[in-house]
Structure 1
Amino acid sequence: MWIYSWQEIVSMTAAAIVLDWLIGDPRWPTHPVILIGRWIRWMEGLLRSKNDSPSNEKFKGVLLTTTTLIISTGSVVVLVLAARSVHEWLGYAVCTWLISTTIAIKGLKDAAYLVYNPLRKGELADARKYTGYIVGRDTEALDEEELTRAVVETVAENIVDAVISPLFYALIGGAPLAMLYRASNTLDSMVGYRNDRYRHFGWASARWDDAMNWIPARLTGILLILVALLQPGLSAKRAAAAIRRFAHLHPSPNSGIPESAVAGALGIELGGLNIYGGVASERARLGWPLRPRTQQDIVYAVRMLYGVSFVVMGGLLCILLVLF
């Protein structure tokens, strides 16, 4: 398993979760995800031209995806090997830090509470502004129910993207594979859109991200059912039923699983009408509207996010007890 044993990788992954719980994801200029994003923007400007045919755009999109993944992963390999050559414990520290930069438990919670706190005070203008930071839809006219829906959907979806997927790949291949995933997800978030600008150029990035999230998304569904079973007031039975009934209706092959699970567990409906740049888009409705959505659902969604991370940490600690 690369240069580290599985015991070492499990230990570093567990330490990375703790690091993210405590410190989160500070946006330093040298943060790996920021550097990956700058590379993607630079490559897009270099590769794209106005008169490209769809096939040329797809080819250039494949080139963007491939070079980004190779450079992101290769850079981490070089960095970890260099740190390890100085001292074994420096190698551990660098690898742990790099894994922690690929997950965003605290960052996701902070983003959700940036909306929840103004909502709690009745400050809709601020809540709309901060919601606009985390979703692509128009937020200027959203009421409390719709703002809540946007945040809950974001938290639910990102339990896969920001927690389980990077941890899954970290456990398979340490920091290099975790960064490979983060580069994949960054590509998807920047160019993987089905609009006129990126339909062809972002095709490879979107499909690759779907493939990498396929197994983690289904593991996330299981973990969310377990969390719903353990947390009072949530329904594990409804979470499981919602996944079976609604997940396949989502346009993404993966995002429908966590969103359906959270909707079912809370007894609310997610999905519905979104406005993007003034254009209406009807998304599949997930879950059963057993009650109106309220701002407190943001708190419940964050608790489910942390519940999943606690369950994963508990599993890692059990593995370490067995291995050592």
Structure 2
Amino acid sequence: MGRDCMWILCSVLLGFLLDLCFGDPHWLPHPVVWIGKGISGMERLLRWIFPKTPGGECAAGVVLAVMIPLLSLVISGGVLYLAYRISFWLWFVLHTFWAYQIPATKCLAAESKKVYAALQAGDLDSAKKLLSYLVGRETTQLTEEEVTKACVETVAENTSDGVTAPLFYLLLGGVPLGFCYKAINTLDSMVGYRNEKYIHFGTASAKLDDAANWIPSRLCGLLMIAAAGVLGLDGKNAFRIFRRDRNNHLSPNSAQTESAAAGALGIQLGGTHVYFGQIVEKPTIGDRIRSAEAADILRTNGLMYAAAMLSVGLFGLCRALIVFVIT
């Protein structure tokens, strides 16, 4: 058992290095796409089966929130088990390949750099369009500084959702638990909205995502504070703002990393935004020590990379210690 646990650790570390090197090429089929298709198909089925009442939609949403992560865990675990029965090395290659696909470190950095490049070129319209692919809010009326802050916010939030939380679950339970987490995260991004269509149906998925990210987001906030010190940013202020503003968000988790980033950069994030035509009022995060500038996107990417490295070291060490104890 200890030997298999160490091989999982090696596989996840190798997968993380592959993600840093290659990201997610568009031509490569991605399992999360299939998870998304499964969510869409099951949503249609459940809406047809359950009554179109608030209670019926809530019940359907609970079934969806249970079935999709469970299927993701069982299917990936079953395929890996069959691969292991055929050949250990087939299992290792497949596990490593999927471990490479689960985090989104380079992809997140690459997409945010496109917004930065457009801002640097003075093309605000392109920057707003590129930003719209990354955020759920309305972007057409944003100023240059607001585009910058929105990009900083999404990189900071997704440092946990897209990088350190997947690594946390990968190193905790291997690829099956990693896919289970990605399914929960994908559910929230697809149905976890407070609009008319999903206010009842998406409640269970949103709550499940909050629960799954509760520990990882707080660990990531602390890791980003440490990363700020490593990168020569304001680690002391990052810790101060983290302590003060880490709950200044409608989500219990999003401000954990956004507050650390805002403090490290000395800018103010949050505030009122427009989502799907509706004004959503949010508290501010951080102090406006200075105005946000396009280079803050690159600085936040630096925080993301440093936090990812620190998380791999911390979570990997914890797993290695557990293996040592049980063997």
Normalising by the smaller structure, the TM-score range is over 0.9
Q: How far off is 1:240 after superposition?
A: 1.0
TM-score by length of 1: 0.94
Which residue in 2 is equivalent to 1:65?
65
Letter in 2 for 1:101: Q
The number of residue pairs the alignment matches comes to 322
- 1:30-69 correspondence runs (5 A): 30-49=29-48, 52-69=52-69
- Asked whether 1:74 is paired with 2:74, we answer yes
Q: Residue 272 of structure 1: CA displacement?
A: 1.4
Name the structure 1 match of 2:164.
164
Whole-Å separation in 1 of the counterparts to 2:43 and 2:313: 42
Displacement of 1:236: 1.1
- The yes-or-no answer on 1:251 pairing with 2:232 is no
Whether 1:291 and 2:290 are equivalent positions in the alignment is: yes
The TM-score with structure 2 as length reference comes to 0.93
CA contact (8 A) 1:264 1:288 kept: yes
Aligned residue runs from structure 1 range 1-324, under 5 A:
5-28=4-27, 30-49=29-48, 52-232=52-232, 234-315=233-314
**Aligned equivalents of 2:86, 2:22: Cα separation in 1:** 26
Deviation (angstroms), 1:4: 6.5
Q: Which amino acid letter does the alignment assign opposite residue 22 of structure 1?
A: C
Question: Higher mean Cα deviation, 156-165 or 83-92?
Answer: 83-92
Cα offset, 1:145, TM superposition: 0.2
* Alignment RMSD: 2.0
Paired AA for residue 124 in structure 2 = L
Q: Supply the distance in 2 between the matched residues of 1:24 and 1:166 (Cα, whole angstroms).
A: 15
- State the distance in 2 between where 1:75 and 1:5 align: 20
- Could you tell me how far apart the structure 1 residues matched to 2:26 and 2:6 are? 30
Distance change >3 Å, CA 64–CA 321, structure 1 → 2? closer
The residue type equivalent to 1:208 in the other structure is L
Q: Which amino acid aligns with 1:274?
A: H
Shift of 1:206: 0.6
CA contact (8 A) 1:29 1:35 kept: no
Q: Distance in 2 between matches of 1:44 and 1:309?
A: 34
Aligned 8 A contact 1:14 1:316 in 2: no
Counterpart Cα distance in 2 of 1:277 and 1:212: 26
Contact 1:102 1:179 in 2 (8 A): yes
Q: 1:4 to 1:130 in 2, by over 3 A?
A: farther
Change (3 A) 1:320 1:22: same
Amino acid at match of 1:277: F
The SS at the match of 1:141 is coil
CA–CA distance in structure 1, aligned partners of residues 13 and 36 of structure 2: 26
- How far did residue 315 of structure 1 move? 4.0
Aligned amino acid, residue 248 of structure 2: L
CA–CA separation in structure 2 for the residues paired with 1:62 and 1:316: 31
Q: Which moved more, 1:273-282 or 1:62-71?
A: 273-282
CA distance in 1: counterparts of 2:316 and 2:170, whole angstroms: 15
SS across alignment from 1:74: helix
The answer to which of 303-312 and 205-214 deviates more is 303-312
Contact 2:167-2:311 at 8 Å conserved across structures: no
**What CA distance in whole angstroms lies between the structure 2 residues aligned with 1:177 and 1:83?**
17
Counterparts of 1:262 and 1:181, CA distance in 2: 24
- List gaps (5 residues or longer) in structure 1: none
Cα contact 1:10–1:316 (8 A) shared by 2: no
- Give the C-alpha shift of residue 276 in structure 1: 2.0
Contact 2:80 2:94 in 1 (8 A): yes
The AA in structure 1 aligned to 2:137 is: R
1:22 and 1:175 mapped to 2: Cα distance? 19
Kindly indicate whether the alpha-carbon contact (under 8 Å) linking 1:25 and 1:101 is maintained by their aligned counterparts in 2.
yes
Structure 2 CA distance for aligned equivalents of residues 315 and 29 of structure 1? 30
Paired-residue identity, %: 41
Identify unmatched segments of 5+ residues in structure 2: none
User: 1:178 deviation in Å?
Assistant: 0.5
State the distance in 1 between where 2:202 and 2:318 align.
39
Superposition deviation, residue 166 in structure 1: 0.9
